[in-house]
Amino acid sequence: MESILDSKITYLKGVGPKKADLLKKELGIYIFNDLITYFPFRYADKSKIYKVGDIVTDNTYFQLVGTVSNLTKVGDKRARYVTATFSDDTGSTELIWFRGLQWVMNRFVPGKKYIIFGKPSVFKNKFNFAHPEIEDYEESDFNASGQRLEGIYSSTEKLKNVGLGSRGISKLQKELISQCIEALWETLPEYILENYNLISRKEALVNIHFPGETEIIDKAKERLKFEELLIIQLQLIKDKNSVSHKFKGQIFKTVGNNLNVFYNEYLPFELTNAQKRVIKEIRSDMRTGYQMNRLLQGDVGSGKTLVALLCVLISMDNGFQSCIMAPTEILATQHFNSIKKIIGDLDVNIELLTGSTKKKKREEIHSQLKDGTLDLLIGTHAVLEDVVVFKNLGFVVIDEQHRFGVAQRAKLWKKNSIPPHVLVMTATPIPRTLAMTVYGNLDISIIDELPPGRKPVTTTHVFESKRLRILGFMKDQIKQGRQIYVVYPLIRESEKVDLKNLMDGYHNMIHDFPMPDYQVSVVHGKMKAEDKDFEMQRFVEGKTDIMVSTTVIEVGVDIPNASVMIIENAERFGLSQLHQLRGRVGRGADQSYCLLISGYKLSNEGRKRLEIMVETTDGFKIAEADLKLRGPGDLQGTQQSGVLDLKIASLVHDTHLITLTRNLATKIIERDPSLDKTPNRLLRKQLDKIKEGKQNWGRIS
Ligand code: ADP
Ligand code: MG
């Protein structure tokens, strides 16, 4: 059944073709429903008329009554803007327009009273109002309706020019609601409204646009946010559960010898509780008969690699081969060495395959993979090549997932007729609530605990001018046998400048360094891969004391003896990058240090980032702070997920509601998987509507 809310916006009284066109282009409003879900971002007290003398801040909206005089065009041949003086009995302030200049020049009658409404800005220490909303005072209905609180809508210059500033939009809302009031049906089942003490949809929609009193605004918002988040969660959970999204998978039911022996005799430490929990989650996935696709999140150093290794042993005990893929040769080599070491003389056949593996060795590996004598292949992209054929690949680990594309992952899937179980590991934590929405249709495991005995890295923010003290500190550390990273920022647009920055820094350091014999490795993006590896390797082997580099070392490198991380121009890095870099130290027994170096001139956000880094080493807290500073738009994974289209709920501020609706949605789907029960049909209707939504006829025009 079509609802009146599906009508094209042109059919609303007061919206002609021109306005309709702008509403579409500027705000994405195509149909009635789009408009009614275009909510105010704040409210102004409309009954209140301020005096010019009351304007003390540019933080809030003011409604003033007064006269307009001194209209002046400013500019040489062509006017660039128009100013005017707005006065009441307490003083005057400036009005300014940059567009529609001719119209403005003819708009005002001297001595006549006008109401203006807007938010002032400050220019040269004086307040002015740019493009204020204006009505003739005599004709204004500003208080006729008795409406005290007025919703403030964001608008654009183009819309303002056709009379659709905030107040214009509010008028459309009034018209819309009076036409559609009967069509504002309830969309949530009665039992949910009751249990969560929510107001009806009609009451919420009317009051979010035209609130009777302040208290009802919060109730209206809560109701609308609840609904929005609940529907998203239902959708995600349904997707996740639907068999059509799952592939047939290998069944690992044996608890075998390798795992037991390794666990009881080789493991040098107790697993953390988080590691145990995650392994349990993975094991139960591996028994379902469906392919596992699980994301493993865990802070740097939380022991993800060990989890991966235990899963490799499970796979082996069930007669399958495994593969671990890392984004760089260094990382692959590192995994290979550390796994070799920890596995000791246990009978596991492991090989390393990278771009630099010699031809003979390569062929040997290929044939061992084919005849099944190789249990675990560790490597780089090289493992994806078509010549790499497994006898029976059952389990795949992809380390640092964001370095690999979907196509590359798909290639690994195809290496067995029944696809292998896939574990994707990432050390870039995203906040839980965001994970629930962004990755809500993936299975997620989280290691939220570090192995015991780690000393938190001591982090300090140091100004550039303290260079000599920094060098002195470095000298002390080197004398104690430690190794040091010095990292310079790299921004793609200006690679040349950055490289110069790095090389200058390097030369200055060598020149000023208060110590005769020390060795430095330099690694940057412009070097050949083999030179990079060579330099890196010297540092890994402890032949050099300092590693000067750009962020190429960001991911995964594990050198326990390197205990100092110095980040130059630290204000230019994002929070998650700073956290990744700091995660390179603090891996050994020694106290580690992170020095964040910056100039004195810092933006607010830059300063905030450095403060957070000094304050905490908890990756999830840092991710939470990052989300608050930047909003979800920049976070990895959010772009594709559609969560950015939220109309009213906020991923940053509504974490409580996200958890609440997530739990409710889980329960609902558990009891009523296809939402067939009478009260839940209302919910299903909404999900169906979303499915067909993209082809909505109202949008094709
Ligand atoms: P991640 O890959 O999550 O950054 P790793 O797997 O490289 O972390 O582990 C970091 C270090 O901690 C390794 O040296 C590893 O052997 C060690 N480790 C892992 N799990 C534990 C544990 N439960 N107790 C003590 N040390 C551990
Ligand atoms: Mg790792």
In a domain, 365, yes or no: yes
Q: Which is nearest to 249 in space by CA: 292, 295, 296?
A: 292
Higher pLDDT, 698 or 399: 399
Residues found in the chain: 701
Helix (H, G, I), strand (E, B) or coil at 447: strand
Strands 91-97 and 126-130: what pairing?
Answer: parallel
Bin 270: left if φ > 0, else alpha if -120 < ψ < 50, else beta.
beta
Distance (Å, whole) CA 46 – CA 212: 12
Which residues have C-beta within 8 Å of that of residue 496, sequence separation ≥ 6?
Answer: none
**Same domain as 273, residue 309:** yes
Please, which pLDDT band fits residue 239 given cuts at 50, 70 and 90? Answer: confident
Please, which pLDDT band fits residue 439 given cuts at 50, 70 and 90? Answer: low
Distance (Å, whole) CA 94 – CA 84: 6
**Same domain as 606, residue 551:** yes
pLDDT of 492 > 60? The answer is no
- Report which DSSP code applies to 456: P
pLDDT of 430 > 80? The answer is no
Q: Once rounded to an integer, what is the mean pLDDT over residues 292-301?
A: 85
Bridge partners of residue 408, in order along the sequence: none
Sequence-ordered alpha helix ranges (H) in 128-165? 157-161
**Same domain as 375, residue 236:** no
Helix (H, G, I), strand (E, B) or coil at 557: coil
Which residues have C-beta within 8 Å of that of residue 369, sequence separation ≥ 6?
Answer: 321, 377, 388, 389, 390, 391
For residue 335, what is the domain's CATH number?
A: 3.40.50.300
Distance (Å, whole) CA 238 – CA 673: 8
**Same domain as 417, residue 347:** yes
| pLDDT for position 440 | 63
659-695 residue pLDDT tens = 899 999 999 999 999 999 999 999 999 888 877 754 4
| pLDDT for position 649 | 87
- Report which DSSP code applies to 401: G
The two three-digit tokens of residue 426, written as one number: 């990432």
Residue 399, ligand 1, Cβ within 6 A = no
Cβ-in-10-Å burial (0-12, 13-18, 19+) of 537 comes to: middle
| pLDDT for position 700 | 38
The percentage of residues in the chain with a pLDDT greater than 90, rounded to a whole number, is 47
The two three-digit tokens of residue 191, written as one number: 């039992």
- Report which DSSP code applies to 271: P
In the reported structure, the alpha carbon of residue 644 is separated from the centroid of ligand 1 by a whole-number distance in angstroms of 35
| pLDDT for position 499 | 66
**Same domain as 682, residue 570:** no
pLDDT of 117 > 90? The answer is no
Please, which pLDDT band fits residue 181 given cuts at 50, 70 and 90? Answer: very high
| pLDDT for position 698 | 39
Which residues have C-beta within 8 Å of that of residue 697, sequence separation ≥ 6?
Answer: none
Ligand 1 pocket test, pick from 273, 305, 424 with the greatest ligand atom count within 8 Å of Cβ, gives 305
Per the structure, the count of domains in the chain is 5
In a domain, 635, yes or no: no
How far is CA 195 from each of CA 199, 230, 269, rounded to the nearest angstrom?
Answer: 11, 14, 47
362-387 residue pLDDT tens = 999 999 999 999 999 999 989 999 99
Distance (Å, whole) CA 172 – CA 20: 12
In a domain, 699, yes or no: no
| pLDDT for position 515 | 74
Q: Which is nearest to 551 in space by CA: 575, 530, 578?
A: 578
In the reported structure, the alpha carbon of residue 272 is separated from the centroid of ligand 1 by a whole-number distance in angstroms of 10
Ligand 1 pocket test, pick from 277, 306, 557, 584 with the greatest ligand atom count within 8 Å of Cβ, gives 306
Residue 334, ligand 1, Cβ within 6 A = no
How far is CA 178 from each of CA 35, 37, 141, 175, rounded to the nearest angstrom?
Answer: 13, 15, 17, 5
The two three-digit tokens of residue 635, written as one number: 């976070």
Q: Which is nearest to 549 in space by CA: 574, 525, 577, 522?
A: 522
**Same domain as 436, residue 403:** yes
Owner of token pair 């921004």: 491
| pLDDT for position 200 | 97
| pLDDT for position 399 | 86
**Same domain as 421, residue 273:** yes
Can you give the pTM of this predicted structure?
0.65
For residue 110, what is the domain's CATH number?
A: 2.40.50.140
In a domain, 643, yes or no: no
In a domain, 189, yes or no: yes
**Same domain as 420, residue 275:** yes
Residue 271, ligand 1, Cβ within 6 A = yes
- Report which DSSP code applies to 265: I
At 412, which amino acid appears? L
Which of 146, 174, 206 represents a domain boundary (last residue)? Answer: 146
In a domain, 301, yes or no: yes
Contact 112, 67 (CB under 8 A): yes
Mean per-residue pLDDT over the chain, rounded: 86
599-610 residue pLDDT tens = 898 888 899 999
Nearest-CA residue for atom 5 of ligand 1: 303
| pLDDT for position 245 | 60
Please state which of the ranges 237-251, 451-465, 528-542 shows the lowest mean pLDDT: 237-251
Range of the domain at 412: 257-447
Which of 146, 178, 202 represents a domain boundary (last residue)? Answer: 146
In a domain, 483, yes or no: yes
- Report which DSSP code applies to 263: I
pLDDT of 511 > 90? The answer is no
Please, which pLDDT band fits residue 552 given cuts at 50, 70 and 90? Answer: low
pLDDT of 268 > 60? The answer is yes
Contact 102, 117 (CB under 8 A): no
The two three-digit tokens of residue 260, written as one number: 């037991």
Q: Which ligand is nearest to the CA of 450?
A: 1
**Same domain as 428, residue 315:** yes
pLDDT of 699 > 50? The answer is no
Contact 436, 430 (CB under 8 A): no
Distance (Å, whole) CA 503 – CA 526: 12
Residue 427, ligand 1, Cβ within 6 A = yes
The two three-digit tokens of residue 443, written as one number: 């299975």
Owner of token pair 């004709």: 139
**Same domain as 683, residue 611:** no
Highest-confidence range of 323-327, 365-369, 538-542, 659-663, by mean pLDDT? 365-369
| pLDDT for position 244 | 52
200-230 residue pLDDT tens = 999 999 999 999 888 899 999 999 999 999 9
**Same domain as 281, residue 239:** no
Distance (Å, whole) CA 428 – CA 399: 11
Q: Which ligand is nearest to the CA of 583?
A: 1
Highest-confidence range of 128-132, 237-241, 630-634, by mean pLDDT? 128-132
In a domain, 170, yes or no: yes
Which residues have C-beta within 8 Å of that of residue 639, sequence separation ≥ 6?
Answer: 633
557-606 residue pLDDT tens = 778 899 999 999 999 888 888 988 898 898 777 899 999 999 898 888 89
Q: Once rounded to an integer, what is the mean pLDDT over residues 105-115?
A: 91
Helix (H, G, I), strand (E, B) or coil at 84: strand
Q: Which ligand is nearest to the CA of 453?
A: 1
Cβ-in-10-Å burial (0-12, 13-18, 19+) of 486 comes to: buried
Bin 111: left if φ > 0, else alpha if -120 < ψ < 50, else beta.
left
In the reported structure, the alpha carbon of residue 589 is separated from the centroid of ligand 1 by a whole-number distance in angstroms of 13
Distance (Å, whole) CA 661 – CA 655: 10
Nearest-CA residue for atom 15 of ligand 1: 303
Highest-confidence range of 103-107, 196-200, 400-404, by mean pLDDT? 196-200
Q: Once rounded to an integer, what is the mean pLDDT over residues 112-119?
A: 90
Residue 275, ligand 1, Cβ within 6 A = yes
| pLDDT for position 307 | 95
The two three-digit tokens of residue 575, written as one number: 């929070």
395-414 residue pLDDT tens = 999 987 555 566 677 788 78
Bin 291: left if φ > 0, else alpha if -120 < ψ < 50, else beta.
beta
The two three-digit tokens of residue 570, written as one number: 């630290």
Q: Which is nearest to 686 in space by CA: 129, 32, 33, 168?
A: 33
**Same domain as 173, residue 282:** no
Contact 187, 201 (CB under 8 A): yes
Which of 100, 120, 146 represents a domain boundary (last residue)? Answer: 146
Distance (Å, whole) CA 385 – CA 68: 75
Distance (Å, whole) CA 600 – CA 585: 26
Q: Which is nearest to 509 in space by CA: 533, 491, 484, 530?
A: 484
Rg (CA), the chain: 31
pLDDT of 641 > 60? The answer is no
> Does an H or E element contain 291, and which?
none
